[in-house]
Structure 1
Amino acid sequence: MSAVSKLLSLTSELKLNKSYVQQIAEVIAAVIEFEVAIIDNNLEVIAGTGKYQSEIGFVYGKGSITGQIINSGSNFVLDDEPLNHNICKDCNQKIICKLKAGILSPIIWTGDVIGTISIFAFDDREKNELLSNRDKLLDFLMKISALISSKIGENEMHGRLSLMANQFSAVINSIVEGLVTIDHSGFITHINKSAEKLLNISTQQVCGRHINDIFQGFSVPKVLKLGQPYVEQEIQYINKGEVCLFISTITPIKTNQEIIGLVISFRSIRELRKLAGRLIREDRKYTLDGILGTSKTMTILKQKMQLVAATDSTILITGESGTGKELFARAIHEESHRKNGPFIAINCGAIPEMLLESELFGYEEGAFTGASRGGKPGKFELANNGTIFLDEIGDMPMHLQVKLLRVLQEVKIERIGGVKPVWIDVRIIAATNRNLEEMIKEKLFRSDLFYRLSVIPFYIPPLRERKEDLMLLLHHFLDKYNLILGKQITGFTQEVQRKMLTYPWQGNVRELENAVEYAVNIATNDIIDSTYLSSRVNDYFEQNASLASGDQPTLAELEKTAIAAALKRFGSTGQAKEKAADSLGMSRSTFYRKIKELGLDTKFPNINKLS
């Protein structure tokens, strides 16, 4: 239990309501003219009048009358002085006590005694009056005790309801979807923070207004009458002349089977498109089929990778930066029997040499100054039963190359500072953009390690060597950023296509994606022309003016060839068309549009009849 919880558990219910019980004590004293004391189950004076007002905060002993009344839970009338009464024999205050008589009643809440309320006489006149009216006064105190209990219960319930309301409000305002509640007449009663943000409006501005003032065309009577939830309905909101589209779900609020209002939850269609695009990309991202490329070299490459994915042989992937070496490595892992195991990637060139060994092989506690308590496993241990991807293997220092070679040979590692070997079961995929064979000649890379790593070598060709894939990637990235940015750009001008085809793309696929993202971001028309290309691309053609107008095939020509080949390969059924579009990295709508634009609907006359 925390310190705060302990403190709260020691704080009595009477003390939590001390302002109220003090008012009760003062009212009683004013009516019956006896001194009043209200003491809690910790024997602390919480409220009082006269002598007891100065004792507020004083704690009596367990032998006091109050202590015994709390233990017994019974009413009690003190009809003699404490020195003469047996109940006061153990009280540590009896010698100095000035009481002549008293009436005490327990305060009971939820079955437990939480304190007492008492009236006392301090002279013979008060004693005679108190004892002569003892039954009436005792009945009066019992009713006051019940009143106090009732008030405490009310405050407790109010506190719980307030807490629940605050928790409910926090939950509602943490929801990403906008929420609007309306009554049976269609007037808005509440909106959450997400709705305020999506509608660019405050709660004060919208509450009390009719829902049709916000969402035009929203049919309140129809929804209220049917009483059925509406799911994924499109609604419009006009903000400063701009039309915003939302997908909404409408749920009736019922009490005793009567609809008393509605809850409307909604999300921006633009945000949903972004989410859908992200999910689609993630679903396709790490499979060989999801890697775009229909050129002969890429098709053969993916077929070979598919074959070796099922084995545990070590693979070396080479190729320029930006060709997607890690993407291929992940795809191989996902196609292998290790796909349920971890895929651990480490860039051997991005980690300082002094830290690389501990990152790869881990260390034991006390291996060096600053070593974590208990030690730390390395990437090889973390990749056990899975795949480890050693990127930029050409940047690995020579002394670590020796240790890696030993790992490959013995299938075990030793942590830094360790004395026991750790057996591992991992598949190693290495990658580099450097020429390892040239490095071997320059004695910068070990030849024995090279041959161990390159059991199955793969070379990823640069984009400039597979221009037929450029068209697929262009439209894939166009569709992607149309979705993310909420644009509806239909394509590229002939000039842009020619420039894209001629540009060398030293950064390969990564650079191409960046170029398309830049163009879609700044484009204001529905087609991308040269003014939307990055300065790097345009500057290249300014410096090489003759390159932009060569006799090379245009992207349209390459597109036509690729689409025709896909149709020929997959056929003309509806399902075949979807497979053809998917193999080209195009959406179904883009695929149909391209067929029509490129005149393939005449070459394949049944294409327009397909569902």
Structure 2
Amino acid sequence: MKYANIISKVLKVEVEIADKDLMRIAGTGIYKNKINRSMTKEGYVYKTALTTGKSQIIYNPGKEELCQPCPKRDTCEEKFEMCTPIKLGNEIIGVIGLVCIDEFQREHLMKDFQTCMSFLQQISDFISITAYENIEKARERTLLKSLNLVIDKMDEGIIILNKNNKVTQINKSAINLLKFVDSSFIDEVKIEQIDRNNEGAKEYKVFIGNQVFYFLGDVYPINLNESHFDRMFIFKEAANIKAVITQHNNEKQKIYVDDILGSCDTIESLKRNIKKIALSSSTVLILGESGTGKEMFARAIHNEGNRKNEPFIAINCAAIPDALLESELFGYAKGAFTGADVSGRIGKFELANKGTIFLDEIGDMPLHLQTKILRVIQEKRVIKIGSNKAVDIDVRVIAATNKDLVKLIEENKFREDLYYRLNVIPFNIPPLRERIQDIKLLVDYFMGKYTRLLNKEYASITIEEEVWEIFYHYSWPGNIRELENAIEFMINMLGTDGVLTLQTIPQSILNNTRKIRENEHDIHPLKELEKKEILKALEIYGNSTQNKRVIAKKLGIGIATLYRKLEEYGLSK
């Protein structure tokens, strides 16, 4: 309408503008009240311009050939008509027409016809440019809406700034990280990189008003010819990122056999055997109570072998709900189930390809998954949930458990065929109470670790003899993990004199040790003690024929004597 009015006033004629469907979208004079009406039954001249892409001139409206199909050809009020198509690139999107309805308008137009024709063409181009700009703005709005949807789904904070450091876009995660309820509080943001290196992550100082924040992230330039979008800041909370970096660093500190603390005969034998089997691809089963360091032994096996430069993937089968464990192990295909990641997920077995997968607490795995694990180990291929395509893998499997798998087999809670498939190379990690001579070595190591972590540096730390006596008499049901926790507690309790006394020992250890000592003063019949030790051995090693041979050796008696005593004490099955 703006362009139609300009043309009408300058050229002193009436103006019509129609779209490509011959709908009148602008008009002056007698056409002003006919906007948004179809011209398909009368606009034959416009239809020709739209079809041919060429300008059309009608000197005698109603008399010329183009007017013949028009129902108003004999009653046409127009004295002159000319039109030109409106083009957007190679597409014709409409037509603009000049109409004279009296002789005065006709004479005025014909006086300078070429100038009027040129002016009409320029206006057509202006409309085309405006249409293009509107399309681009609509496209930009759509892109911005899509961008907003994407960045609002991201866990990282995202702030988009213009050239004047003004915030033009901010996502929900950024608002949460900045502790603001409403993004309207955030106007101008200044970002300053700090000259600090966190394993490749850049740290930034962010100024908002009078507040200062510290984040890890990066700034990315946005290469658009648009003042509103100059650069994008993607960031996370520094503490969270540092935790990730610390975890990454810990993973990079590879554990080898010589890093395992212990000098007792059992541990030394285990170390030698690990080096023997490290280069093998055979499955390993590590047995031991909770807290004995089964994962440390698994990592040592991996790092001593030829897969040390490939992934070591650990998964705790007891820590993940049964419903999720299968997808964690094998992954799932795109759209496998409601709520699944739209792009699917790769499973732990596939992630461990060429390397090692550590299945911790395998004894807690549900039976239906045991069947699938057995098939994966045998066939060396996995099938994702929701997919029929098998993926070949080359993975060494190391499993571990604190359960008696033989007993679980007897209770139909563990597959016997999987047990034999896992138990190719078995390792039994002794509990701490069976390697008392290693306690001092472990205590020294943990003291060094926690004095550094807790900033409690001393020239020397003294441990009273009573403390050592407690340590040697305590049964350590939590094994090395419990010992480490105890030392961390004691270093926290350490006084300025640097002496670890009975008062620094956790009460739980003191109380349990007292009970043990009280029992030690009682006199028990030899048969009762013998039965107790045999029962303890059965609990530790199990009741199979093979395990009974181990028990007899541990007790220092023959296998026949053991069977006789089992019968005597009513312990035989």
TM-score range, shorter chain: 0.5 to 0.7
> 1:462 aligns to what?
431
2:477 to 506, 512, 518: 506
| Partner residue in 2 for 1:318 | 287
Structure 2 counterpart of 1:431 = 400
1:104 is aligned to 83
Task: Give the whole-Å Cα distance in 1 for the aligned partners of 2:276 and 2:314.
Answer: 22
What SS does the corresponding residue of 1:56 show, helix, strand or coil?
A: coil
| Mapped contact 1:231–1:249 kept (Cα < 8 A) | no
Are 2:252 and 1:283 equivalent residues in the alignment?
yes
SS at match of 1:472: helix
Report deviation, 1:317.
1.0
Aligned counterpart, 1:85: 64
CA distance in 2, matches of 1:236, 1:506: 48
Task: Report if the CA contact (8 A) 1:45-1:58 is conserved.
Answer: yes
- Residue deviations 1:15-60 (CA, integer Å, cap 9, x gap): xxxxxxx222234445555332112334332222343542425363
Task: Return the offset for 1:454.
Answer: 3.6
2-structure distance, mates of 1:56, 1:309: 83
Equivalent residue, structure 2, for 1:148 = 127
* Deviation by residue 1:551-605 (Cα, 9 ceiling, x = unmatched): xxxxxxxxxxxxxxxxxxxxxxxxxxxxxxxxxxxxxxxxxxxxxxxxxxxxxxx
For 1:56, the equivalent position in structure 2 comes to: 36
The one of 24, 35, 42 aligned to 1:45: 24
Matched, 1:66 2:37: no
Given residue 278 of structure 1, which amino acid in structure 2 is its aligned partner? Q
Letter of the structure 2 residue corresponding to residue 58 of structure 1: S
Q: For the aligned residues, what is the CA RMSD?
A: 6.8
Question: Unaligned regions of 5+ residues in structure 1, if any?
Answer: 1-21, 219-228, 253-260, 363-376, 416-420, 549-611
Q: Secondary structure at the match of 1:26?
A: helix
- Work out whether residues 318 and 458 of structure 1, in 8 Å CA contact, stay in contact via their aligned partners in 2: yes
1:296-445 paired onto structure 2 within 5 Å: 296=264, 298=267, 300-329=269-298, 331-333=300-302, 335-337=304-306, 340=310, 347=317, 391-392=360-361, 394=363, 427-436=396-405
Change (3 A) 1:205 1:45: closer
Match for 2:510 among 541, 544, 561?
541
Deviation, structure 1 residue 168: 9.7
Contact 2:22 2:43 in 1 (8 A): no
Indicate how the Cα distance of structure 1 residues 519 and 86 shifts in structure 2: closer, same or farther if over 3 A, else same. Answer: farther
How far did residue 458 of structure 1 move?
1.0
Cα displacement (A) at 1:113: 4.2
Q: How many residues align?
A: 468
CA distance in 2, matches of 1:528, 1:448: 55
Displacement of 1:104: 1.4
Alignment partner, residue 567 of structure 1: none
CA 1:447 to 1:79, structure 2 compared with 1: closer, same or farther past 3 Å?
closer
Residues 344 and 85 (structure 1 numbering): CA distance in 2 closer, same or farther, change over 3 Å? farther
- The residue number in structure 2 matching 1:24 is 3
Normalised by the length of structure 2, the TM-score is: 0.55
Report deviation, 1:331: 4.7
Distance 1:230 1:389, change over 3 A: closer
Name the residue aligned to 2:445. Answer: 472
CA contact (8 A) 1:43 1:61 kept: no
Moved more, 26-35 or 73-82: 26-35
Name the CA distance, whole Å, in 1 between partners of 2:188 and 2:485.
48
Which AA in structure 2 matches 1:79?
Y
Asked if the contact 1:79/1:131 (under 8 Å) is kept, the reply is no
Q: CA deviation at 1:347?
A: 3.5
- When residues 318 and 87 of structure 1 are mapped into structure 2, their CA distance, relative to the original with a 3 A threshold, is same
- The 1:134–1:200 alpha-carbon spacing in structure 2 relative to 1, beyond 3 Å, is same
- Cα separation, partners in 2 of 1:357 and 1:38, compared to 1, 3 Å: closer
In 1, distance between residues paired with 2:23 and 2:330?
Answer: 65
Q: What is the Cα deviation at residue 318 of structure 1?
A: 0.5
Change (3 A) 1:422 1:149: closer
Structure 1 pair 527–195 and aligned structure 2 pair: CA distance change class (3 A): farther
| Structure 2 counterpart of 1:274, one-letter code | A
Per the alignment, residue 75 of structure 1 pairs with 55
Deviation of 1:139 (Å): 3.9
Q: Write out per-residue CA displacement over residues 376-399 of structure 1, whole angstroms, 9 at most, x where no aligned residue.
A: x99999988766655545567999
Q: Which residue of 2 aligns with 1:607?
A: none
Equivalent residue letter for 2:317: N
What is the deviation of 1:276?
3.2
Map 1:152-301; keep pairs closer than 5 Å: 152=131, 273-284=242-253, 287-288=255-256, 293-296=261-264, 298=267, 300-301=269-270
TM-score (norm 1): 0.53
5+ long unaligned stretches in structure 2: 222-229, 332-345, 384-389, 518-573
Matches of 1:165 and 1:527 in 2, distance apart?
65
Q: Distance in 1 between matches of 2:156 and 2:507?
A: 42
Deviations 1:419-475 (A, max 9, x none): xx9999765534321345667899988988766644422122334544222443565
Residues 477 and 118 of structure 1: CA distance in aligned 2, closer, same or farther (over 3 Å): farther
Q: Percent identity of the aligned residues?
A: 32
Amino acid at match of 1:506: P
Alpha-carbon contact 2:446-2:488 (below 8 Å) kept: no
> Structure 1 residues 188 and 81 mapped into 2: Cα distance closer, same or farther (>3 Å)?
closer
Residue in 1 that maps onto 2:527:
none
Measured in 2, the distance between the counterparts of 1:148 and 1:204 equals 37
CA distance in 1, matches of 2:269, 2:18: 89
Structure 1 residues 30, 516: CA separation in 2 closer, same or farther (over 3 Å shift)?
Answer: farther
Residue 560 of structure 1: aligned partner: none
How far 1:175 sits from its partner (Å)? Answer: 11
Residue number in structure 2 paired with 1:34 = 13
1:382-417, Cα deviation, whole Å (9 max, x unpaired): 988766655545567999999999998x879999xx
Partner secondary structure for residue 103 of structure 1: strand
Q: CA deviation at 1:319?
A: 0.3
Secondary structure at the residue paired with 1:118? strand
SS at match of 2:60: coil
| Residue identity in the other structure for 1:429 | I
How far, CA to CA, are the matches of 1:360 and 1:275 in structure 2?
Answer: 22
Work out the CA distance in 1 between the residues paired with 2:391 and 2:177.
Answer: 54
Cα distance in 1 for partners of 2:132, 2:392 equals 65
**Which amino acid in 1 is paired with 2:36?**
I
Cα separation, partners in 2 of 1:140 and 1:424, compared to 1, 3 Å:
closer
2:86 corresponds to which letter in structure 1?
Answer: I
Indicate the SS of the match to 1:457. strand
Equivalent position SS for 1:541:
helix
8 Å CA contact retained: 1:77, 1:102? yes
Q: Distance in 2 between matches of 1:426 and 1:94?
A: 86
Query: Following the alignment from structure 1 to structure 2, what is the Cα–Cα distance between the partners of residues 51 and 461?
Result: 99
